[in-house]
Amino acid sequence: MSILGVESVVFGVSDLAEHTRFWTDFGLSLDSAEPDESMFRLASGSRVILRPHGHPGLPEPDPFAGDGIKETVWGVDTTDNLERIAASLASEVPVTRDADGTVHAVCPDGQPIALRVWDKRVVVSEASPVNTPGSYPRFNQHRIWRARAIPKTINHVVFFSTDYVGSFEFYERHLGFRYTDHSKGTGIFARADGTFEHHSIFWVNADLPIAPDHFKFMHIAFGMDDIDEVMLGANQMEAKGWKNESMNSSGGISRHRISSAIYYYCDIPGKAGEAEYHADTDYLDDNWVPRAWDFRFGSLLWANNAPPIFRGDNIPWDMQFDANRASFEPYRKTHPGKQPTSDPTLARLTADDEHAI
């Protein structure tokens, strides 16, 4: 074990007050508020840090234009492991250090990352047993009644990459991340070795028509106790005026086929990407066998008004176990340079299809 998950994410924002209001309404606990910074802390100890553009605490040069996560800080379990990772990174990319020992680097795809020793907190949470017509473990009991949605953890972050396979391999090589699943032609899911959530990071192919053609933040997912909390969060965010414009095409609350998670996305102000309520994901260890999926089959299950490319009963079951990473080969044969899409249906993806992948 070494990397325990996301210790912090650092946002660069245009309107600090609006972003602070968004995350407060989303259910995060405001730990501190200064004229040039707002910091939120979750039950796990993870933090969401907001800083206005030009703040000296943001990486330079700016990895992409506009609002979004400018640096991802990974929490490491021990000083020895931090030193080992720092030395590995330094063999390939420049590494700098803060006075407190935090290590900074920029990945080859342009993603700024940092690492520091993290005393991750144990999260205490509970979900009610689920009754079905033939099985009712919640007998003579009512479900837990929740007053508001309170995210407990940062489960994963998602970025566009101009070389999504190379991005994963860099994390695997230096940070010890585990390959979990591959949505063929669209992206790779990977898990930090000190976590059990299905993935800690997902890299999306920036060559897709929906993509910005350069490194950029896409979304961040927060762990919730159950579907009740996801529904409650979705309803409360809409009641507070935070509309879900980017997800209208796929119908709001649904469940991913890859990772099994129930989800709901909220648009972050300033076109900064999306914040995801996330529950009932698959939990894995090193006995997991990675899989390669057709991107259509692996995407949405029950989303209402899904884009046409994902509709119909003619999408075949298309999943293979991929321990030998054979699914990487078509990409590798066409890289470096812009990767031609091996599946002609990928070329028909539009901006409305963004979260269907």
The pLDDT tens digits of the residues spanning 38-95 come to 999 999 999 999 999 999 999 999 999 999 999 999 999 999 999 999 999 999 999 9
Model confidence band, residue 341 (pLDDT cutoffs 50, 70, 90): very low
Residue 115: CB atoms within 10 Å = 26
Question: What DSSP line would sit under 90-157, residue for residue?
Answer: HTTS-EEE-TT--EEEE-TTS-EEEEEE--PPPP----PPPPBTTB-SSTT-PPPP-SS----EEEEE
CB distance 336 to 164 below 8 Å: no
pLDDT in tens, 1-44: 699 999 999 999 999 999 999 999 999 999 999 999 999 999 99
Would you state the structure tokens that stand for residue 180, as one six-digit string? 């979990």
Q: Hey, how many other C-beta atoms are within 10 angstroms of the C-beta on 254?
A: 22
Domains of the chain: 3-122+151-356 (3.10.180.10)
At 278-289, the pLDDT tens digits run: 999 999 999 999
pLDDT of residue 312: 61
Backbone angles phi, psi at 167, to 5 degrees: -60, -45
Q: What's the pLDDT tens digit per position in 198-240?
A: 999 999 999 888 789 899 999 999 999 999 999 999 999 999 9
Q: Is the peptide bond before 61 cis (omega within 30 degrees of 0)?
A: yes
